[in-house]
C-alpha cells in the first residue's frame, strides 16, 4: 500500500509539473499522448484505491454535483475597482497625484500590463491548498464559485515553489481575471447556434455565464482561462515590488501575463507602452480593454493606500470604446425616478462590439445642442463596457435636409407638470413626485436585481398594477394577493404563483439591499453597502446624525444631506414603517473571513451607552460570538456598562477579561454609532 501511495504521489507531482509547463508557462515538455498516459495511470490507481484520493489531486477537477444556489462569500479585503484614465493627460495627472501624495520621493517605477476584459475572481489558498474561489460581486461580497473554478485547468489546486526560492504563505488570496479567448468564444457560439441556443454577446459574457453555472460539469466544458494580477489578504509576503510578486505567483504555479507586463522608469514610457498595447490589441488572443498602471514598489503602494472604491497606487488607461455608425429614428424623453428628464435616441439597430444597440442616451439638452443632434441624423454610437451607449458625433456630410432639430419639452411628457431646470444644472426635472413616470421608475428600482430583487415583477406588470390602482407605492406590493395578480392581462396561474413566491422571498433581505431599494438620491449600491456595514441595523441608520453619516468612509456632504432630507420627510418614514409591518426582515451578511470573536462567549452587564441590550446581542451573534447570561470560567469577555451588577465582581474573581462598550465595538469592528 505504501508503495502505491508513493506512486500516486509521484504521478500527481509529475502531472502538476506538466500542467504548469503547459498551462502556466505555455512551454510543454512532453507530448499530449505521454501526458494522457500519466493521467490515465493516476485515474486507474485512484479508482482501485479510492481511499487514497485527495481533493487536490489533478483528477479532482471535473464533476461535482449541481448546486441550487451560490453561497455568499465575504471578501476579507474589499475587491476594489480602478479609476480610469482616458488620455495621456489623465495618465500624467495620475503620476502627479502619486508624486504629490508621496511628497519628496525620488524616481520610482510603474508596471504596465494589459487590462483583461473578463471578470474578477479571488482564489483563496490555505497552506498552499486551493480552498475557495469567489466572484467580485459588489466588491464586498461575492458568490462562491469554487466547484467551477476547480474545472479551470490553469488554476492550480496546490501551490508549490518551482524554484524552491519562495516559501508558499499559509494564507494567500490571489486575484485575477477569468476570461475566454476569442477563438474559443467563437467556437462555443457556433456550437450553441447549431444546438438552437442563443449565442453569447461577447467573450466576457460567455466567461461570466460559464463561471456562474450552477452545474460545474457545464463549466468544465467551457474553455475558461485565468490571469492573476494581484493579491488580497496574505500571511507573509516579503517582496519589494509588484513585479517580483508577479514572478513569485508564477513560481507558485499561478498564471500571470508575464510577457506583457512591462516595468517603466518614467511616465513617458508608461504612456508609450499604453499606446503600444492599444495599437496591438487585436493581436491578443483575448480581449483587452485597457492597460493597468501600478506603482511598482509595494511599500509605496501601502503608503498610497486607497480611497473608498479604488487604490491610489493604480489606474486603468481605457482604450477607445468600440464605435459604429447608425441612424437616429427619433428622440424621446424618459422620466427617471428622481424626475430627471433624459432624451433618448431610438436607433436603427446596430451591432457594437458584439452587442446589438437600439437606444443611446443623449444626456440632456446641452449635449444635444453642443453636438447638434437631429432626428434622422446618421451618427457614430459607442459602447464602453457596461455603460449605456451614447452618441459620439453626427456625420454631418450624410445629412439629406430632412433631419429635424430637437428641443426638450417644457412640460413633463407624462404628467404635464412644468419642467424645472436649476441654475447651473444641465438636467431638467419634472417637479411632481406623484408623476406616474417617477412612481413607476421608483418601483422599477425597488424591485430590481440589486435592490429587493423581485423576479417576474417587470415594468409591464408594474404598469398594469399602477394603472388599475392596485398599488400606489412600494409597500402596496406586499399586500397583493393571488386574486389580484390573476386579474392582470396576460398572466397565467403559474407566473402568478411564481410572482407571489418572489414577493414573499424578497421580504428576507439584507440591510444594504433595503437601503439601496429606498432610492435615496446619491445612495447607490456601493454607498448602501458602506452604510449597512457601518450602521448594521436599520434603526441605527435611521437615527444617524449628520456627523455620524459624515464619519463613514466614502460619504460626503452631498450624500449625507440627501439621506437626512429623505428621513425628514414623514411620507418616507411612513413608507418604511409599512414595509417593516409587511414583514420585511433585514440581515447583515455575515463575513466568512475570520472574525476576531468567532466562538467567543460574552456576558453583558449594566446598561450600555449607544447599543440596546438586544442590539449588542444581535451584533455579537452575527459576528460568530455567543452571548450567555451567567459568568463562568468559559466566559471570554464580560462587557461592562453603567451600574453593572454582580457579574462584574464574579468576572473579577474568576479572572475573566472585562471590556467596555467601546472595546466591544472595536472587537465587532463597528465604529461608534
C-alpha cell at 496: 402568478
Which of 184, 316, 471, 616 contacts ligand IVH by CB under 6 A? 316
Q: Is 166 in the site for ligand IVH (CB under 6 A)?
A: no
293 beta partners: 112, 315
Instruction: Considering the complex, state which of residue 81 and residue 464 has its C-beta at the smaller distance from ligand IVH.
Output: 81
Q: Is 116 in the site for ligand IVH (CB under 6 A)?
A: yes
Tell me if residue 115 is catalytic.
Answer: yes
> Total residues at the site for ligand IVH (CB under 6 A)?
15
Q: Return the range that interacts with ligand IVH (CB under 6 A); candidates 58-66, 79-87, 588-596, 614-622.
A: 79-87
Instruction: Considering the complex, state which of residue 304 and residue 341 has its C-beta at the smaller distance from ligand IVH.
Output: 304
CB of 257 to ligand IVH, least distance (A): 7
CA distance 185 to 514: 37
CB of 313 to ligand IVH, least distance (A): 9
CA distance 111 to 291: 10
C-alpha cell at 42: 493516476
Subset of 173-232 contacting ligand IVH (CB under 6 A): 177, 229-230
Instruction: Considering the complex, state which of residue 136 and residue 429 has its C-beta at the smaller distance from ligand IVH.
Output: 136
CA atoms in the 13 A half-sphere facing the CB of 323: 12
Phi, psi at 605, each rounded to 5°: -145, 145
Q: CB–CB of 169/237 below 8 Å?
A: yes
Which of 156, 169, 311, 389 contacts ligand IVH by CB under 6 A? 311
Q: Is 113 in the site for ligand IVH (CB under 6 A)?
A: yes
Instruction: Considering the complex, state which of residue 120 and residue 512 has its C-beta at the smaller distance from ligand IVH.
Output: 120
Q: Is 120 in the site for ligand IVH (CB under 6 A)?
A: yes
Packing angle between helix 267-279 and helix 88-102, nearest 10 degrees? Answer: 150
Which of 15, 73, 82, 304 contacts ligand IVH by CB under 6 A? 82
CA distance 103 to 569: 46
Packing angle between helix 436-447 and helix 459-467, nearest 10 degrees? Answer: 130
Catalytic residue among 3, 74, 115, 600: 115
**CA distance readout (Å), 270 to 57, 279, 577, 603:** 42, 14, 55, 57
Q: Return the range that interacts with ligand IVH (CB under 6 A); candidates 74-82, 353-361, 557-565, 579-587.
A: 74-82
Q: Return the range that interacts with ligand IVH (CB under 6 A); candidates 114-122, 218-226, 295-303, 589-597.
A: 114-122
Shortest Cβ contact with ligand IVH: which residue? Answer: 120
Instruction: Considering the complex, state which of residue 80 and residue 621 has its C-beta at the smaller distance from ligand IVH.
Output: 80
CB of 382 to ligand IVH, least distance (A): 19
Site string for ligand IVH, 263-292 (x = CB under 6 A): -----------------------------x
Instruction: Considering the complex, state which of residue 229 and residue 541 has its C-beta at the smaller distance from ligand IVH.
Output: 229
Which of 67, 72, 81, 497 contacts ligand IVH by CB under 6 A? 81
Instruction: Considering the complex, state which of residue 256 and residue 563 has its C-beta at the smaller distance from ligand IVH.
Output: 256
Task: State in Å, rounded, how far the first CA of the chain is from the last one.
Answer: 61
The DSSP annotation for 295-327 comes to ESBHHHHHHH-B-SSSBTTEEEEEPPPEEEEEE
Beta strands in 477-567 (DSSP E): 508-510
Chain-centre distance of CA 284, in angstroms? Answer: 26
Q: CB–CB of 219/146 below 8 Å?
A: no
Q: CB–CB of 75/141 below 8 Å?
A: yes
Residues 6+ apart with CB under 8 A from 360: 344, 345, 347, 379, 381, 388, 389, 390, 391
Q: Is 314 in the site for ligand IVH (CB under 6 A)?
A: yes
User: Which element (helix H / strand E) includes 94?
Assistant: helix 88-102
C-alpha cell at 288: 483587452
Instruction: Considering the complex, state which of residue 82 and residue 91 has its C-beta at the smaller distance from ligand IVH.
Output: 82
**Dihedral sign, CA of 630, 635, 640, 646?**
positive
Q: Return the range that interacts with ligand IVH (CB under 6 A); candidates 108-116, 269-277, 547-555, 570-578.
A: 108-116
Site residues for ligand IVH per CB under 6 A:
80-82, 113, 115-116, 120, 136, 177, 229-230, 292, 311, 314, 316
Annotated catalytic residues are: 115
Amino acid at each position: 500500500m505504501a508503495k502505491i501511495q508513493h506512486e500516486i504521489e509521484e504521478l500527481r507531482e509529475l502531472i502538476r509539473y506538466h500542467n504548469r509547463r503547459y498551462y502556466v508557462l505555455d512551454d510543454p515538455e512532453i507530448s499530449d499522448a505521454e501526458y494522457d498516459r500519466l493521467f490515465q495511470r493516476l485515474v486507474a490507481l485512484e479508482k482501485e484505491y479510492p481511499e487514497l484520493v485527495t481533493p487536490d489531486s489533478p483528477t479532482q477537477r471535473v464533476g461535482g454535483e449541481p448546486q441550487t444556489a451560490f453561497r455568499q462569500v465575504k471578501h476579507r479585503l474589499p475587491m476594489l475597482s480602478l479609476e480610469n484614465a482616458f488620455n495621456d493627460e489623465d495618465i500624467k495627472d495620475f503620476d502627479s497625484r502619486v508624486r504629490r501624495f508621496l511628497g519628496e520621493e525620488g524616481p520610482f517605477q510603474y508596471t504596465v500590463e494589459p487590462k483583461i476584459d473578463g471578470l474578477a475572481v479571488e482564489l483563496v489558498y490555505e497552506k498552499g491548498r486551493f480552498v475557495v474561489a469567489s466572484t467580485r460581486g459588489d466588491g464586498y461580497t461575492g458568490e462562491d464559485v469554487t466547484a467551477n473554478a476547480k474545472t479551470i485547468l490553469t488554476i492550480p489546486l496546490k501551490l508549490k515553489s518551482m524554484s524552491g526560492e519562495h516559501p508558499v504563505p499559509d494564507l494567500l488570496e490571489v486575484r485575477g481575471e477569468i476570461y475566454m479567448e476569442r477563438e474559443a468564444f467563437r467556437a462555443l457560439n457556433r456550437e450553441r447556434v447549431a444546438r438552437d441556443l442563443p449565442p453569447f454577446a461577447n467573450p466576457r459574457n460567455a466567461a461570466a455565464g460559464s463561471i456562474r453555472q450552477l452545474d460545474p460539469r457545464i463549466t468544465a466544458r467551457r474553455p475558461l482561462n485565468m490571469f492573476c494580477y494581484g493579491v488580497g489578504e496574505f500571511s507573509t509576503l516579503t517582496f519589494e515590488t509588484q513585479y517580483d510578486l508577479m514572478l513569485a505567483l508564477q513560481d507558485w504555479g499561478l498564471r500571470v501575463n508575464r510577457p506583457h507586463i512591462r516595468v517603466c522608469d518614467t511616465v513617458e514610457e508608461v504612456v508609450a507602452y499604453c499606446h503600444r498595447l492599444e495599437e496591438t490589441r487585436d493581436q491578443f488572443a483575448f480581449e483587452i480593454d485597457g492597460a493597468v498602471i501600478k506603482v511598482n514598489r509595494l511599500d509605496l503602494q501601502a503608503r498610497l493606500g486607497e480611497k473608498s472604491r479604488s487604490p491610489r497606487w493604480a489606474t486603468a488607461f481605457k482604450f477607445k470604446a468600440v464605435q459604429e455608425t447608425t441612424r437616429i429614428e427619433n428622440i424621446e424623453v424618459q422620466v427617471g425616478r428622481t424626475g430627471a428628464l433624459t432624451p433618448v435616441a431610438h436607433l436603427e439597430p446596430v451591432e457594437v462590439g458584439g452587442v446589438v444597440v437600439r437606444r443611446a442616451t443623449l444626456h440632456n439638452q446641452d449635449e444635444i445642442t453642443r453636438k447638434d443632434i437631429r432626428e434622422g441624423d446618421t451618427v457614430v454610437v459607442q459602447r464602453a463596457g457596461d455603460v449605456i451607449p451614447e452618441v459620439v458625433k453626427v456625420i454631418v456630410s450624410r445629412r439629406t435636409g430632412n433631419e429635424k432639430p430637437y428641443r426638450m419639452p417644457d412640460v413633463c411628457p407624462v404628467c404635464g407638470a412644468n419642467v424645472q431646470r436649476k441654475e447651473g444644472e444641465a438636467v431638467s426635472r419634472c417637479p411632481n413626485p406623484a408623476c406616474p413616470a417617477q412612481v413607476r421608475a421608483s418601483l422599477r428600482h425597488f424591485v430590481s436585481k440589486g435592490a429587493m430583487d423581485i423576479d417576474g415583477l417587470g415594468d409591464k406588470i408594474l404598469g398594469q398594477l399602477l394603472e388599475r390602482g392596485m398599488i400606489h407605492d412600494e409597500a402596496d406590493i406586499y399586500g397583493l394577493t393571488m386574486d389580484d395578480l390573476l386579474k392582470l392581462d396576460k398572466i397565467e396561474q403559474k407566473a402568478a404563483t411564481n410572482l407571489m413566491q418572489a414577493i414573499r422571498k424578497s421580504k428576507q433581505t439584507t440591510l444594504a439591499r433595503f437601503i439601496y431599494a429606498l432610492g435615496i438620491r446619491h445612495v447607490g449600491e456601493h454607498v448602501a453597502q458602506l452604510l449597512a456595514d457601518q450602521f448594521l441595523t436599520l434603526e441605527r441608520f435611521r437615527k444617524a446624525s449628520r456627523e455620524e453619516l459624515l464619519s463613514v468612509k466614502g460619504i460626503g456632504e452631498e450624500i449625507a444631506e440627501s439621506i437626512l432630507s429623505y428621513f425628514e420627510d414623514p411620507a418616507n418614514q411612513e413608507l418604511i414603517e409599512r414595509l417593516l409591518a409587511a414583514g420585511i426582515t433585514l440581515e447583515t451578511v455575515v463575513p466568512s473571513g475570520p472574525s476576531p470573536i468567532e466562538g467567543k462567549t460574552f456576558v453583558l452587564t449594566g446598561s450600555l451607552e449607544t447599543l440596546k441590550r438586544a442590539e449588542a446581542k444581535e451584533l455579537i451573534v452575527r459576528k460568530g460570538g455567543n452571548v450567555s447570561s451567567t459568568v463562568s470560567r468559559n466566559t471570554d469577555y464580560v462587557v461592562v456598562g453603567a451600574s453593572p451588577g454582580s457579574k462584574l465582581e464574579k468576572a473579577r474573581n474568576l479572572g475573566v477579561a472585562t471590556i467596555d462598550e467601546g472595546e466591544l465595538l472595536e472587537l465587532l469592528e463597528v465604529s461608534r454609532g
